[in-house]
Structure 1
Amino acid sequence: MEEGTQLTPAAPSLRYEVFHTDCPARDMVDHVTSRWGIWVLISLRSNDLRFYELRDSIQGISEKMLAQTLRALVQDGLVWREVEPATPPQVTYGLTEFGQDVGEPLTDLFDRITRRLPPRTPR
């Protein structure tokens, strides 16, 4: 059911060197903060979604980019992927505990931004 690796906290003397280009934490930050990674994490914060539900919830994302983004986030251990044996197969995605933890400040960030924006005018 769950795929990918999940990073565990390092001992104080064994911390990741995040400013080095070969640090695995940098790759994960790149995946989370990529153009679509942040939207996938935000979209999955409340509900587990099937691939097409997730695609429809993120306006402007192509199926190819969604698939690539999900593959990276699953590999990082932020998102889980479950394939239901059906014809055609139904694939559901959700946030792991680690993904929930990483997504929480993103949700806070979006809440802060939307509170500061001017009120929307009706169309």
Structure 2
Amino acid sequence: YAEYLSKEMGAFEDPYKDFGRLNSEIWRAIRLVVDTGIHAKGWSQEQAVEFFIANSSISEGQIRAEVRRYFVMPGQATGYKIGMLKILELREKARNELGDQFDIRAFHDTVLVGGALPLTILERVVDEWIAETKM
């Protein structure tokens, strides 16, 4: 989410400077697919490696190390992308419900104040903040 936010804030003045962020975002999307393929679809290590190779530009050795980690830590690789998507969803919800009262800094304070939270609890925290802000 932080990388996405930096793009929104104008940190990347041209497409070349944004390339690294885009590469990281693609990486996280691939991880989401591969982790799900392994643990929900029963992919073999080779199937996971093949998907990674077909969709990324990193070395096969690095890919194999990543895939081995996904086998022993189910769901961990999906957390980054799912977290980003959830924070964006909550931010949009807050923006829509609060309109002119929406303050991006207050939203970020709300998201960060509790530390690492399960996403269901984070959603509850944001909902409570929205309700309090409306008052």
> TM-score scaled to structure 2, two decimals?
0.30
Higher strand share: 1
Which has the higher relative contact order, 1 or 2, with Cα contacts under 8 A spaced 6 or more apart? 1
> TM-score scaled to structure 1, two decimals?
0.32
